[in-house]
């Protein structure tokens, strides 16, 4: 499958690529200055020479060959990362490009800061969604109010599995799509998936509507294709780290489909399904890994789990999730389980 998008480091020694990044930045700057009613907003790069002289890390978000957004970040004296500017093609606003850039820049970083104008509600919302907290407010000499935000990904609450199979600390959203596991069957596998509805968009209600058979086919063309599905997962972890539970672990959720593990078929019988809000084409969030760790440890305290595995491993050739960006080494270390 061709990747629907890609976020990668830009080599601005390429004059053609640098010119594209410069043009996008200038277009976005004009719109931002108008939004802020602040004509003195400094540009990141005034000309091609300035763009090519940039010594900071520069990320670009692409849809095919089309450059949709640019993020520039510098390394602070204390080793942390500071986001100097994140800009999106004005024709592509609210299409998720800012989040994709930010999500990629955060990989492997624990100390990250950014400054943004108080009146830039869209930017503040984006950074808060990604785990930033506003900590310092100040004003420029000519009166523009700014916020310094620092990256603080959410930590999950303490989860505790109840006798009825529901997890205390998770948001309960009961699904009708489940049945008996079968006599003598107990959960042995933790199966990791990814999902996003609409495809490659995050934060909406599509996933819970799908698992509760409430998907509205008129809301998105893809929903019309899948509204007939009767599927579920035990758990769903949002980008924010929020944990939702749809099926008690004592019951069989319908997440694996035709599947096999070590010669045993029908993996739904002996597994717990965990859906991560995401896709095959970009990293998962720090908050999601933290919640997955807390979930796995809570389940292991009371269930005979033997392994953590991906949908791709039990349905090879049919499924690819959680995909190449999932950090298996971390998941195994965090959960105490092996593939």
Q: pLDDT tens digits, residue range 216-267?
A: 999 999 999 999 999 999 999 999 999 999 999 999 999 999 999 999 999 9
User: Is residue 58 in a domain?
Assistant: yes
Q: Where are the beta strands (DSSP E) in 90-242?
A: 112-117, 132-139, 145-151, 160-161, 167-168, 171-172, 178-179, 189-195, 235-237
Given pLDDT bands bounded at 50, 70 and 90, which one contains residue 272?
very high
**244 within domain boundaries:** yes
Co-location of 184 and 294 in the same domain? yes
In a domain, 252, yes or no: yes
**In degrees, to the nearest 5, what angle opens at C-alpha 18 toward C-alphas 14 and 20?**
125
Would 138 be classed as within a structural domain?
Answer: yes
R_g (Cα) of the chain, nearest Å: 22
- Cα dihedral 257, 258, 262, 268 in deg (nearest 10): 30
Cβ(270)–Cβ(256) below 8 Å: no
Rounded distance between C-alpha atoms, residue 313 and residue 327, angstroms: 15
Burial grade of 78 (CB within 10 A; 0-12, 13-18, 19 or more): exposed
Task: Indicate if 123 and 254 belong to the same structural domain.
Answer: no
pLDDT tier, 2 (very low <50, low <70, confident <90, very high otherwise): confident
Q: Do 173 and 256 have their domain in common? A: yes
The beta strands (E) that lie in 140-215 are given as 145-151, 160-161, 167-168, 171-172, 178-179, 189-195
Domain count, the chain: 2
Q: Is the pLDDT of residue 1 over 70?
A: no
Closest CA to 85 of 129, 144, 45, 30: 45
Looking at the chain, the whole-number percentage of residues with pLDDT higher than 70 is 100
292, two tokens: 């997955």
- CA gap 311, 295 in Å, rounded: 18
Both 147 and 223 in one domain: the answer is no
The span from the CA of 70 to the CA of 214, in Å, is 37
Q: 137 and 222 in one domain?
A: no
Backbone angles phi, psi at 123, to 5 degrees: -65, -45
- 232: closest CA among 218, 252, 204? 252
C-beta of residue 336 within 8 angstroms of C-beta of residue 300: yes
Q: Are 44 and 29 in contact (CB under 8 A)?
A: yes
Tokens matching residue 39: 């004509």
* CA–CA separation, 87 and 30 (whole Å): 11
Interatomic CA distance for residues 28 and 123, integer angstroms: 13
Q: Are strands 132-139 and 145-151 parallel, antiparallel or unpaired?
A: antiparallel
DSSP one-letter code for 283: P
Any domain includes 1: no
Domain CATH for 197: 3.40.80.10
Whether the Cβ atoms of residue 94 and residue 82 lie closer than 8 Å to each other: no
Q: Are residues 142 and 225 in the same domain?
A: no
Query: Residue 279: pLDDT above 70?
Result: yes
Residue 18's SS3 state is helix
Indicate the residue among 106, 124, 151 that finishes a domain. Answer: 151
Please report the pLDDT score of residue 182 as a whole number. 86
Query: What number of residues does the chain have?
Result: 339
Q: pLDDT tens digit string along 190-212?
A: 999 999 999 999 999 999 999 99
* Range of the structural domain that residue 109 is part of: 6-151
Same structural domain, 145 and 170:
no
Please state, in angstroms and rounded to a whole number, the distance separating the CA atoms of residues 224 and 232.
Answer: 18
Q: Is the pTM of this model over 0.85?
A: yes
221 and 300 inside one domain: yes
The three-point CA angle 179-254-303 to 5° equals 75
Tell me how far apart the alpha carbons of residues 197 and 204 are, in angstroms, rounded to a whole number: 7
DSSP letter, residue 215: -
CB 210 within 8 A of CB 229: yes
Catalytically active residues are: 275
Are residues 124 and 186 located together in one domain of the fold?
Answer: no
pLDDT class of 157 with cuts at 50, 70, 90: confident
């Amino acid at each position: 499958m061709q990747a629907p998008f890609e976020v990668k480091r830009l080599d601005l020694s390429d004059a053609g690529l640098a010119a594209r990044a410069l043009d996008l930045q200038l277009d976005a700057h004009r719109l931002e200055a108008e939004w802020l009613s602040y004509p003195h907003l400094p540009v990141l790069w005034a000309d091609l020479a300035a763009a090519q002289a940039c010594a900071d890390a520069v990320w670009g978000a692409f849809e095919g060959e089309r450059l949709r957004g640019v993020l520039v970040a510098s390394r602070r004296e204390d080793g942390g990362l500071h986001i100097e500017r994140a800009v999106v093609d004005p024709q592509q606003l609210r299409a998720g490009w800012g989040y994709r850039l930010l999500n990629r820049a955060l990989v492997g970083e624990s100390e990250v800061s950014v400054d943004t104008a108080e009146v830039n509600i869209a930017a503040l919302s984006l950074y808060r969604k990604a785990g930033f907290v506003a900590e310092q407010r100040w004003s420029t000499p000519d009166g523009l109010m700014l916020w310094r935000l620092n990256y603080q990904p959410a930590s999950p609450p303490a989860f505790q599995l109840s006798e009825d199979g529901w997890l205390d600390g998770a948001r309960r959203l009961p699904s009708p799509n489940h049945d008996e596991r079968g006599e003598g069957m107990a959960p042995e596998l933790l199966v990791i998936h990814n999902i996003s509805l609409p495809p490659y968009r995050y934060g909406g209600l599509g996933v819970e509507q799908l698992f509760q058979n409430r998907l509205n086919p008129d809301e998105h063309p893809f929903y019309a294709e899948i509204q007939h599905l009767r599927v579920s997962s035990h758990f769903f972890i949002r980008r924010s780290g929020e944990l939702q539970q749809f099926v008690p672990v004592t019951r069989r959720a319908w997440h694996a489909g035709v599947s096999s593990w070590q010669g045993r078929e029908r993996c739904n019988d002996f597994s717990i399904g965990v859906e991560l809000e995401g896709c095959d084409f970009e990293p998962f969030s720090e908050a999601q890994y933290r919640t997955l760790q807390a979930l796995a440890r809570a389940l292991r305290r009371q269930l005979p789990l033997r392994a953590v595995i991906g949908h791709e491993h039990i349905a090879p050739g049919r499924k690819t999730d959680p995909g190449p960006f999932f950090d298996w080494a971390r998941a195994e270390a965090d959960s105490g389980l092996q593939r």
